[in-house]
Amino acid sequence: MKRRHLLSAAAWCSTALLPWQALAQEAPSWPTKPVRMLVGSAPGGGTDAMARAVADRLAPLLKQPVIVENRPGVSNTLAVDITAKSTDGHTMVMGVVTAHAIAPHLLKLGYDNNKDLIPVAFVGSVPNVLVVGNSVAANSVAELVAMAKKHPHQINFASSGTGSTQHIAAEVFKDAAGVDITHVPYKGSAAALVDLVSGQVQMSFDTMPSVIGQIKAGKLRPLAVTSPQRNAQLPQVPTTAEAGLSGVEISAWYGIYMPASTPKAVVQKVHDEVNKVIAMPETKTRLEAVGAELRPMAQADFASFHMAEYQRFGDIIRKNNIKLD
């Protein structure tokens, strides 16, 4: 009798383990259908550029199409919300500092930024660039500050949306320079740049991929970059610190996030394949041409970086009393 019970229990355990064994076997063969890579901004912006550069090279490695899907809105968090709640096992998001380190301090989100998502693969970062339109007479940060002090509330700055790095950088700039300038939020960088070039707004702290083409075409004038060092694409442009403004250091960073329910084997596979993509000479050339600095990280290091940036921007937001309009 005891032997029969033992055999029965063993058979039950073997049967109960089958789904988990199947999952373990299936994970390495992932993906089994096209993969969605969501982007929280409109086509033409920095996040979109990073996503497409990765997706184009990632698809052949995964042996499935990687479809970039733009879902702009709510400070880049709409795409993150969809990803966090997805259950198809084939959805990821090109995360950006706006959504993962800034918005959680400003918005009531429908997901937990630090629990419902996994930081999978860090891609790189780009500085924000203080640019002005050609209708603005200032040729340096000092001249722009003097103009803003002489004409308070009359200089408008564009951003890709409330709570974006463009918005945060300009708010920190206002505090550091002691000026009053007016925020004009747009739904993405592309729309903001149209009005900046045409003179409807006067300045912006947009990301390098969004503005480098307009700068090279002579339609926008760069006054400073917000990174600690000068950028190789604009070596003649000073950093904000060199221009006399301390503490105005804001960079947009990008990385792949997936739902927290994603199997570890899939997370590891995506991490490894994305790192292969950013190591490819074609990818490096494509992204470095728009001012990106590619920095591969171990998955655990990206998770630590995510939390450090979340805390850093929380401190900036509280110190400068930044709130949504």
pLDDT value at residue 12: 46
Q: Do domains 35-125+252-320 and 127-243 have the same CATH topology?
A: yes
For residue range 123-143, list pLDDT tens digits in order.
999 889 999 999 999 999 999
Average pLDDT of span 34-56: 90
Residue 107: name the closest of 325, 304, 257, 258 by CA. 325
Distance CA 207, CA 131 (A): 10
CATH of 127-243, one of 3.40.50.2000, 3.40.190.10, 3.40.30.10, 3.50.50.60: 3.40.190.10
* pLDDT value, residue 27: 52
Q: Which residue has the higher pLDDT, 8 or 281?
A: 281
- Radius of gyration of the chain measured on its C-alpha atoms: 23
Is residue 269 within 8 A of residue 316, CB to CB? The reply is no
* pLDDT greater than 50 at residue 112: yes
Domain segments of the chain as ranges: 35-125+252-320, 127-243
What stretch of H or E contains 81? helix 77-85
Which architecture does CATH list for 35-125+252-320? 3-Layer(aba) Sandwich (3.40)
- Mean pLDDT calculated for residue range 223-238: 94
The Cα 188–Cα 162 span in angstroms is 10
Q: In which band, very low, low, confident or very high, does the pLDDT at 215 lie, cut at 50, 70 and 90?
A: very high
* Strands 220-225, 117-133: pairing kind: antiparallel
